[in-house]
Structure formats: structure tokens, C-alpha cells
Amino acid sequence: MELSGPPPCFEVEYQTLLTSEALMFVVELVRQFDKKVEQVYIMIIMIPVQFFCELFFVSPEIQCFMYQFVYLTKLAGIILLLKLVSLCRKQ
């Protein structure tokens, strides 16, 4: 694991906090929880898509596309989805 250097006035704090033990701890956390965090994130972004698709009777093909789009674009996909919902409500 490589880190960038400390900001100019924080060399002491950088070396105090980022010991090799601290870095190994963070690496272990990432190893243990990375997949779980990704699964929770997927659930969080997919629930609004599912709601939208059920609310507006979206076809399975479009629903699949929306899941992929939202997953790949993360937050931008959620924002787009909310805009779609607001547009559909106006009509």
C-alpha cells in the first residue's frame, strides 16, 4: 500500500498516526468489509430504482438498463432517477 506524502506542515502528525501497524489495520478492515460495504451500497442505490420501476410499470428490459446505469454511475444515477420521477409526476 502506497500513500502520498504529508502536507507541508504535518510531517510529525503524519508519521505519528500512519504507523505500519495502523496501515496494516486499515488494510485488514478493507479486506474484511469491502464486499459487505459494496453490497450495502448496491442495496441503497437499487431500492429507489425498484420503487420507480414498480410505480411506473417499467418493462423488465428498461428496468435492467436502469439498474446497470445507476450502479455504474453511482450518485449521478440516483440524481437522474429522481429527476425522472419528478418529470413523470408533472405529466
Query: At residue 26, what is the residue type?
Result: V
Model confidence, pTM: 0.42
Q: Which of 24, 75, 18 is nearest to 48 (CA)?
A: 75
Q: Which of 73, 2, 1, 54 is nearest to 31 (CA)?
A: 1
The lowest-confidence range among 41-45, 53-57, 72-76 is 72-76
Is pLDDT at 68 greater than 70 in this prediction? yes
Q: In this predicted model, what pLDDT tens digit does every residue of 11-25 receive, in sequence order?
A: 888 888 888 888 888
Is pLDDT at 88 greater than 70 in this prediction? no
The residues, any chain, with a CB within 8 Å of residue 78's CB and separated by 6 or more, are 45, 48, 70
Query: Which region holds residue 14: left if phi is over 0, alpha if psi is between -120 and 50, else beta?
Result: alpha
CA distance 46 to 69: 11
